[in-house]
Structure 1
Amino acid sequence: MSWFGPTVELSNPPSTRKDRLDLGWVLANSDQAPAYLRDVQVLLARLLTLPVPTIAAVNGHAFGAGAILAIAHDFRIMRSDRGYLCFPEVDINVPFTPGMAALIQAKLTPAAAIAAMTTGRRFDAPTAVEFGLVDRAAEESALLATATAAVRPLAGKDRGTLGSIKSTMFAGAAETPARRGPGPPRDLTRPGRLLARCRLIASPVRLPGR
């Protein structure tokens, strides 16, 4: 993840996936799992209330935590001809944490949340648009240009005001156990560092002209 003036965009290389938590690492380091999940939830809460417009350009598969990471953005654009957005937790016997469930429910309609969280369904781009999981679909060649065009008009918004609005809108979802848990608070000012620590597959993409 990178900062681009007034906006943040998250994308991933075409050959990879914003896929999920690194479950292999979690199983091999079970003693660190609580802190690991805490970091993930802090990252999601920080992104949810970031005081700048954010957009996720999803150009591959987004499963599990990768899908939640996309949902945490203000806007989402998905490649039209390839990839699925999916919450497979119900099929892999991994319940949502309260913070992750609250985030998804804060961003989706009740019907869409039920369809996404309880079925394990894989949503292609047209279906994801229909259910409101993403705002629109675009061809791969136009994905970043479409994302840029969507957020560029929002460049002049005051960060203090926007941050306050988001914090109020998503107060329930942002006040996760990650912020209330024991131990010193994590650094909420550097989402990029948290992204790396949370072992989520994502790469920065610089917006044209930024």
Structure 2
Amino acid sequence: MLTALDLVEARLPSGVVVTTSAIPKFYSNGLDLALASSMDRFFENHLYKLLSRFISYPMPTIALVNGHAFAGGFMLAMHHDYRVFSGSKGFLSVNEIDFGAPIPFPLLNIYQIKVRPNFVRDTVLEGKRWTAQAALEAGLIDSAEGWKGVEALVKDRNLVTKGSTGVYRLLKKGIYREQLAMLDSQGDETAIFSDMMKVEAEEKAAIRKKAEAAKL
């Protein structure tokens, strides 16, 4: 995907990048967590670079969500400038709470800077599954009209020419500077799941110890 984005930028002076999936049921079902966890610094060396590229891309980006977008797939869509849902079926969901996986801070932060606080709570702490209509009402997506919605979005907002003046990337870097700083940082141990769970276990043990010593 990084190579594809490089080729588009190198060969086109301006335009709109639309991502989608050839699988009718899924835009993306997220990461292969076991595989990602087994790779040395997968998040910093691969995933964060991709998300950083999307959120600072020098032309508009649209995620055409043509089915379920879970966990990492949902996070990828959130790093696009616009999101359009396709079809009547499918959910947007961050379901790590359901299977006990921590979420690295750079991946949580994207929701905090793009949507209202209640959405972050419902999505992250409750694992809520958003339908297209609910997502539209919450401001998660810009349209639920599929490819027709993409075409209307591009036309109505004159998106094709937005990258032609050469400042689109610079403006996005200013708007999303906090997120880019988190994605571009190195040596962040919070990206390693085992370390995150170890810190949590140590904190729980310390609390139990204080509770046992408390005289109440």
* TM-score normalized by the length of structure 1: 0.75
Q: Verify: 1:49 aligned to 2:68, yes or no.
A: no
Q: CA RMSD in A?
A: 1.9
Which amino acid in structure 2 is aligned with residue 40 of structure 1?
L
Residue type at the aligned position of 1:10: T
Does the residue aligned with 1:76 lie in a helix, a strand or coil?
strand
Note if 1:148 corresponds to 2:151: yes
Q: CA deviation at 1:124?
A: 0.8
Percentage of pairs with the same residue: 29
Out of 12, 30, 33, the residue aligned to residue 20 of structure 1 is: 30
Counterpart residue identity of residue 147, structure 1: V
CA–CA distance in 1 between the matches of 2:80 and 2:133? 19
Instruction: Work out which of the two has the higher radius of gyration on C-alpha atoms and give 1 or 2.
Output: 2
| Secondary structure class of the residue paired with 1:111 | helix
Partner of 1:169: 175
User: Per-residue displacement from partner, 1:126-172 (whole Å, max 9, x unpaired)?
Assistant: 1111111111212xxxx223213312411112353211111111100
Q: Equivalent residues in 2 for 1:181-192 (5 A)?
A: 181=186
State how 1:79-98 maps to structure 2 within 5 Å: 79-98=86-105
Which residue is 2:20 aligned to?
A: 11
Which residue of 2 is the match for residue 180 of structure 1? 185
SS in 1 for 2:17: strand
Q: CA deviation at 1:24?
A: 3.4
Query: Any idea what SS the aligned residue of 1:136 has?
Result: coil
Aligned amino acid, residue 23 of structure 1: L
Q: Can you give the 5+ residue segments of structure 2 that lack an aligned partner in the other structure?
A: 188-216
- Cα deviation, 1:36-93, whole Å, max 9, x if unaligned, reads 1111112112111111111111011000000011111111111241100000011222
Work out whether residues 21 and 64 of structure 1, in 8 Å CA contact, stay in contact via their aligned partners in 2: yes
Structure 1 residues 149, 62: CA separation in 2 closer, same or farther (over 3 Å shift)?
Answer: same
**What SS is found at the alignment partner of 2:21?**
coil
Distance in 2 between residues matched to 1:137 and 1:17, nearest whole Å: 14
Structure number with higher helix proportion: 2
* TM-score normalised by the chain length of structure 2: 0.74
Q: How many residues are matched?
A: 173
Distance across 1 between alignment mates of 2:165 and 2:27: 31
Over 6 Å off, 4+ runs: none
Distance 2:102 2:149 in 1: 34
After TM superposition, give the deviation of residue 33 of structure 1 in Å.
4.3
Q: 2:130 aligns with which of 123, 126, 137?
A: 123
Say whether the 8 Å CA contact 1:45–1:175 is kept in structure 2. no
- Give the conservation status (yes or no) of the 8 Å contact 2:68–2:92: yes
What is the identity, as a one-letter code, of the residue corresponding to 1:82? Answer: K
AA at the equivalent of 2:159: L
